[in-house]
Amino acid sequence: MTHPIIIASGLSKLYQLGRNDATMTFQERIRSVVTSPLRRLLQTRSDARAAQEFWALRDVSFEIAEGDVVGLIGRNGAGKSTLLKILSRITTPTAGRVELRGRVGALLEVGTGFHPELTGRENIFLNGAILGMRRREIIRQFDKIVAFAEIGRFLDTPVKRYSSGMYVRLAFAVAAHLEPEVLIVDEVLAVGDAEFQKKCLGRMNELRSQAGRTIFLVSHNLEMIESLCNRGIVLNQGQVIFDGKANDALSKYRTLGGRGGEISINETNLIQWSGVHNREKLEGVAGDGDLEFVLRFRTGGVTLDGVFFDLELMDESGRRVTHSKTRFMRSGFTLRPNADMDIRYVVKAPMLAPGQYYLLVYVYNAGGVLAWVEHIDACTISSKSYFPAVHFIDDIKGATVPRFEIELL
């Protein structure tokens, strides 16, 4: 009988929005009070009025057995990253408690746990020490870590000079090879290229086959969740709304999709998203014709120059069907201030199988990310016109239905 290796009991996490006190040092607070008592008093009252409570997690409870491979899924803002930080002991819960039995290797953000001034070699030993490993244990795995990360030439270079891809390769190699009982991996793997992600998936499959290894995985790649995990937990608005078999969890997650998508990065409020303006014309359309999407948004109070759009069409499993980058076509768009604007995006004859499809839109310019909108309800394909002489098979698993010929020689 397997025993629980992670026990979460009534986890809740409260954030105070609108207060800056937490970022001030003790000396700064004293200086502020002495130099302007009245201003400080008025500011305190103003902050108190502006402060808002935001519960990132609400009464989250579950147990994970030794050897489980669990996929944590949910839309952006559901509380996934907060939960992982609590499990990794990076942050503490406002209420509730966590019991972890065994060493935890966590990969949550690029460079998490690395000291930028230390070399790759030194950071491997530092991370091993943080995990509670002895030096001889680290040495035993050292060559495997370096080979997996493919950073041999830069092993003795300070990691502050690493690219984001090198950071991720080394961080995952350390987390996955220093034999933690629990491996926690966030969406950070999406930073790597396709070949690296394939290697990571293979390594996690190796860990899964080892007795007693537990993996806690967050990914928007639903195909990865389906193939790797035996269990899924769905978070929505900080609460667990499903905990069971991975396939059932994916089905539950898909029911959360709604028109309008969700802005996951929009700190500047320079773009407010409205969704697919012509969505009603994309219900039950043929998948072998052109698909035209009219995407509507409203700009903020400034002119934005050199704006690019990356657009991805995805199927229900989260697999990318198309990926279009406007920077390959032109020098960038100029967005007028305080204006309702549309993007006309046409996918030429994608030959899609019947099913539901979603858009991800990534908006940026030289100043950085302007908006990242995902899970936009884009279209429903229900065509039976590819093979008009026969009944169309609706349960095709692939994303596309290519025209083909076959003959027996």
Please provide the DSSP assignment of 366-390 as one string. TTEEEEEEEEEEEEEE----SSTTS
Which pTM was predicted? 0.61
Structure tokens at 355: 């099913």
pLDDT at 259: 42
- CB contact set of 58 (below 8 Å; sequence gap of 6+): 12, 237, 238, 239
Q: Yes or no: say if 295 and 324 are a contact pair by the CB < 8 Å rule.
A: no
pLDDT at site 243: 95
**CA 201 and chain centroid, separation:** 16
pLDDT at 51: 46
The C-alpha atoms of residue 29 and residue 196 are separated, in whole angstroms, by 47
Nearest to 371 by CA among 363, 382, 359: 363
Is CATH 3.40.50.720 the classification given to domain 262-381?
Answer: no
Predicted pLDDT at 74? 83
Domain ranges of the chain: 4-13+47-254, 262-381
Q: What CA–CA distance (Å, rounded) separates 118 from 116?
A: 6
Helix or strand (DSSP H, E) at 223: helix 222-228
Strand partners, 118: none
pLDDT in tens, 158-195: 998 988 778 888 888 887 887 788 888 886 565 556 67
> The domain 4-13+47-254: what is its CATH number?
3.40.50.300
The residues of the chain scoring below 70 in pLDDT are 1-2, 17-52, 76, 109-112, 187-194, 211, 256-269, 383-397, 401-409
